[in-house]
Structure 1
């Protein structure tokens, strides 16, 4: 199993563990809520029975006991008759429960005839009906009252507390993960930059020696026009470019306006003679499109895509590179299409992750570095435009077009 798959498995395991903890917390809180609901239901029933005793008993001592039981209820409650008319209430907002009639002069007409606020009553009663079934108490032979009640403040808080708790924990974990991930990436970047620069430094000495040996071979064997030595020179120059690429890692490269077609074609011409002749190459598209490029780094981008295409082709196949522009003419598109084995749609994003590879000896860094160079150094985009298993894949690079700036130079 490659490192990427291992990290992915650990992420799933940690996520599953977090889900278990969250589920356990919710289940236990729901257990407490159910017990509290039963307790409040029982108290509401006791209160309802106490109201019945108020109207059916003449014993003053017993009534005092009943009143104490009635007043002990901590949940808001409303009693209505069989017609739905308001009778009594408990625990409602006293500032809204009753409205006294006021005359035009601002004086209360009749302090003995307060009126119940119908809107407040309707809203509270609807909320109570939505929460619990009513408790029915028979007052006389055919007359009955319905007692509606709703959850206490404590029960309401207990219901929402676990969600608030989980939200706070999730936010904390997200912040911690972001900080840890950022720190880890920064550390990895520092290691990568240091390794890259040291590699460039180490390559410098043998490259200089190779250049000297080639010049010596030319003089000794009078082989100025020998095609083999010319190809050796091209390879040494390519090594120089590779060393230059590594030396630029970690610093902001300078972008210059170039013809995208010419830059890509130059590298394709170099690359095609170094792979199997069973693979054919084709260049197509608009040759006049310009973009800001750092040629050594962008050659690296094209090289990685072409190598990836060659590795995807098993035996005979073709690779096509096409340059085009968007309809608005603000972007340049570079499509690299191969006739290889293709990529599953579920892996379109995964292929750019560090460590992901389908090769037994691959490091899984090629496309990851390619994306970094396109996005971070050229302010562009790269993605899998299309792929079909057994038929091939198309990678697309998107760059900002500089064509108009070249065609219409600014006059100072």
Structure 2
């Protein structure tokens, strides 16, 4: 890098020199004045630690002492910032005033962007808070509706239980299988009503044998399903997990109903329970021989409102995922192939230290 030396002041009359100093002293921006050969004449508002200058040096016409590398960089910056101001002298020489924006002006230029950013952040926060309040209100409405539905179901269910018992006595059919299945259906209605009453609350969990819980519901469900669909329950019959049986039955019910809907005609639904001892995890795989799920939908099927059926709200798998999460578990599509079937996997912890949350 070439260094630039300071030129001595030319022989100018005192009035012009006074004018030059007046211009220099009136500058409020960092500036450098050079001659036409880019030799530095004057400067203003630069880093004092890099410049060693006294006014007396100018008056005496002596050379100015400064850091040449620093001035080289500053001059380069000023050339890029603004075009120079040309001063034509009576001697025929030309001086050039190079300058750049002061720190205050630079800060003022970015201030609108900072202000807009702050406004943007404020709007985002305001929208987030408003959206959260709106969702909270909607959740309260749904919770209230669910609890009211459970309350309204209570009376007819109690009446059905009474009428069923009266029918048993009237027809002397205490052990009739038809009445037994009707009673199971009424009990199932009680369970459904109790599920809705628990929405928004914190149900308790306790240790249960997973196989027994699943088996109990599968036995209930398969009687009420087409005989063209067969069920197979396999796996570890002793592994335990912390469950809320009523809520967990709801999970199994939704998955089995989806499996039945996916099967057109004859088919098979399998449930396998296994344990990964190393990771202390329980796997519950529910598979069917239905139409399968495209891989692009493996994640979206758990979103509220997603459905491939002409009728339905698309809330089944969304609720299922929420209830699995309530058990501190995971659910996902393990595998699926179009025309061959799908397998859902539920993962639970076998030694879960549970911190209860709302459903």
Q: Do both share a fold (TM > 0.5)?
A: yes
1:242 aligned to 2:195?
no
Q: Tell me the SS of whatever aligns to 1:382.
A: strand
Q: Residue 58 of structure 1: which of 12, 30, 34 is its match?
A: 12
Q: Residue 400 of structure 1: which of 349, 352, 356 is its match?
A: 349
- Superposed counterparts of 1:197-346, under 5 Å: 197-326=147-276, 328-345=278-295
Q: Give CA deviations for 1:304-355 in whole Å, capped at 9, x if unaligned.
A: 1222233333444443333334463333232333344444555444433333
| Correspondence for 1:381 | 330
| Correspondence for 1:92 | 46
Q: Give CA deviations for 1:242-297 in whole Å, capped at 9, x if unaligned.
A: 11111222221110011122212221222222223343333333333221100001
Q: Size of the alignment, in residue pairs?
A: 337
Could you tell which deviates more after superposition, 337-346 or 227-236?
337-346
Q: Which of the two has greater helix per residue? A: 1
Q: Tell me the SS of whatever aligns to 1:193.
A: helix
1:361 aligned to 2:314?
no
| Correspondence for 2:126 | 176
* 8 A contact 1:290–1:403 mirrored in 2: no
Residue 127 of structure 1 and its aligned partner are, at CA, apart by 5.6
| Correspondence for 1:164 | 114
Q: TM-score, normalised by structure 1?
A: 0.67
Q: 1:312 to 1:157 in 2, by over 3 A?
A: farther
| Correspondence for 1:17 | none
Q: Which runs of 5+ in 1 are unaligned?
A: 1-50, 101-111, 405-412
Alpha-carbon distance in 1 for matches of 2:123, 2:264: 45
Residue 300 of structure 1 and its aligned partner are, at CA, apart by 0.7
Q: Tell me the SS of whatever aligns to 1:379.
A: coil
Could you tell which deviates more after superposition, 199-208 or 340-349?
340-349
Q: Please identify the structure whose Cα radius of gyration is greater.
A: 2
Q: 1:58 to 1:191 in 2, by over 3 A?
A: same
Alpha-carbon distance in 1 for matches of 2:95, 2:276: 74
* 8 A contact 2:82–2:100 mirrored in 1: no
Alpha-carbon distance in 2 for matches of 1:387, 1:88: 79
- How large is the RMSD of aligned CA atoms in angstroms? 4.1
* 8 A contact 1:340–1:392 mirrored in 2: yes
Alpha-carbon distance in 2 for matches of 1:214, 1:162: 76
Q: Tell me the SS of whatever aligns to 1:364.
A: coil
Q: Tell me the SS of whatever aligns to 1:250.
A: coil
Residue 122 of structure 1 and its aligned partner are, at CA, apart by 6.8
* 8 A contact 1:383–1:397 mirrored in 2: yes
Residue 126 of structure 1 and its aligned partner are, at CA, apart by 7.0
Q: Which runs of 5+ in 2 are unaligned?
A: 1-5, 54-61, 354-359
Alpha-carbon distance in 2 for matches of 1:327, 1:397: 16
Alpha-carbon distance in 2 for matches of 1:80, 1:66: 13
Q: 1:93 to 1:359 in 2, by over 3 A?
A: same
Q: TM-score, normalised by structure 2?
A: 0.75
* 8 A contact 2:282–2:350 mirrored in 1: yes
Q: Residue 187 of structure 1: which of 137, 151, 176 is its match?
A: 137
